Amino acid sequence: MRLRPAILAGTMACALLTGVRARAEGATVTIDNFAFTPAEITVSPGTTVTWLNRDDIPHTVTDAAEPRAFKSPPLDTNDSFRHAFTTPGTYHYFCSLHPHMQGTVVVR
């Protein structure tokens, strides 16, 4: 799903308030300077990962595997995308506009 910045800010504020439990449930990857940061994250099953585009240029978050388990719409500046990872495994993804941008989510 796609969140507007105001909603995202609210979500982040909640995450800060609830502390440790929220960290166990969520993880955030930022997009700056045509790069996913961190490029690789490890999360437990059931974790929702949020990607936030802070570039002036649109990007996508696209599963590299076929068929694709997830693909975001184009994310404009400050748009974000969330996906819940329920099944353990290694998920490689990339930006379908700028395919040199790559990242990995390890679920275990």
Partner 1 sequence: MATDEDAPSQGRRTALKCMLWAGTGVMWTVAGGVPRSVLLGGDGAQAATPGGLSFVQISDSHIGFANPPNTNTPGTLQEAIGRVNAEKGNAALMIHTGDVSHLSRAAQFDTAEQIIKGAGLETHYVPGEHDVLEDDGKPFFARFTKGGPNGWYSFDQQGVHFVGLNNVQDLKAGGLGNLGHEQLEWLEADLKGRSASQPIVVFAHVPLWLVYKDWGWGTDDGAQAVSYLKRFGSVTVLNGHIHQVMQKVEGSVAFHTARSTAFPQPAPGTAPSPGPIKDVPAGQLRALLGVRKVQLVASGKELAVVNDTTLAG
For residue 106, what are the β-bridge partners? 42, 90
Residues between 79 and 98 with contacts to partner 1, criterion CB under 8 A: 92-94, 96-98
Q: Rounded to the nearest whole angstrom, what is the least distance from the CB of residue 36 to partner 1 in the complex? A: 12
2 binds partner 1, rule: CB under 8 A: no
Q: Which one of 30, 48, 78, 102 is in contact with partner 1 (CB under 8 A)?
A: 102
Rounded to whole angstroms, the Cα distance separating 50 from 28 reads 5
* SS3 category, 25: helix
Q: Which one of 20, 56, 87, 108 is in contact with partner 1 (CB under 8 A)?
A: 56
Give the residue with the Cβ less far from partner 1, 40 or 76. Answer: 76
Q: Rounded to the nearest whole angstrom, what is the least distance from the CB of residue 60 to partner 1 in the complex? A: 8
Nearest to 61, CA basis, from 103, 32, 12, 107:
103
56 token code pair: 């002036």
Q: Rounded to the nearest whole angstrom, what is the least distance from the CB of residue 1 to partner 1 in the complex? A: 17
Q: How far is CA 9 from CA 5, 13, 64, 75, in A?
A: 6, 6, 29, 16
Nearest to 35, CA basis, from 15, 57, 20:
57
Task: List residues binding partner 1 (CB under 8 A).
Answer: 33-35, 55-58, 62, 64, 73-74, 76-77, 92-94, 96-100, 102
